[in-house]
Structure 1
């Protein structure tokens, strides 16, 4: 993993800016979408971090700058696929 993670600023419902560190992005051919997984930069170095996942706007390049609103993942099967991808990413290679 690249130690120099990308940072993204999101604006919450109160209009406050929150800085996030990108964990990784990936594409799913099954769902025809790209996804981003990230966590609040304020949690950097904590043992437990809150990882959030979003679908990228349609047509967004997961390897480039993202313009547009991130989309929530609302489908249970799609969410299960994202969780499986995250678990694979976090798995200990010795297991």
Structure 2
């Protein structure tokens, strides 16, 4: 499985179920040849270091010019397993290498 990975610090504003704005930091972005999809891993901005960091994987579907687009939830177990492998490999590199 080949995954092209990009590390680029970026903040995104998304809306929760109640319509509240929530700021997220992009932690990792990669393409999976296996699923022919782009993925983005987000973490809520402002999480304290002593708190466990909750990573939120999303499918990234860019618009026609490659900017913006939409984020969709990951729905299959196979995609979750692949994402866990990629994130786990990045965590093995060390936290300073994983963070954007």
Q: Same fold (TM over 0.5)?
A: yes
RMSD, aligned CA: 2.2
Q: 1:48 offset after TM fit, Å? A: 1.9
Runs of at least 5 residues in structure 2 that lack an aligned partner in the other structure = 1-5, 95-100
- 1:2-50 deviations in whole A, cap 9, x for unaligned? 6x72001101111100000110100001101000001000215345211
| TM-score, scaled to structure 1 | 0.79
- Name the CA shift for 1:76/1:17 in 2 (closer, same or farther; >3 Å): same
Q: How many residues align?
A: 87
Runs of at least 5 residues in structure 1 that lack an aligned partner in the other structure = none
In the TM superposition, structure 1's runs of 4+ consecutive aligned residues that sit over 4 Å from their partners are none
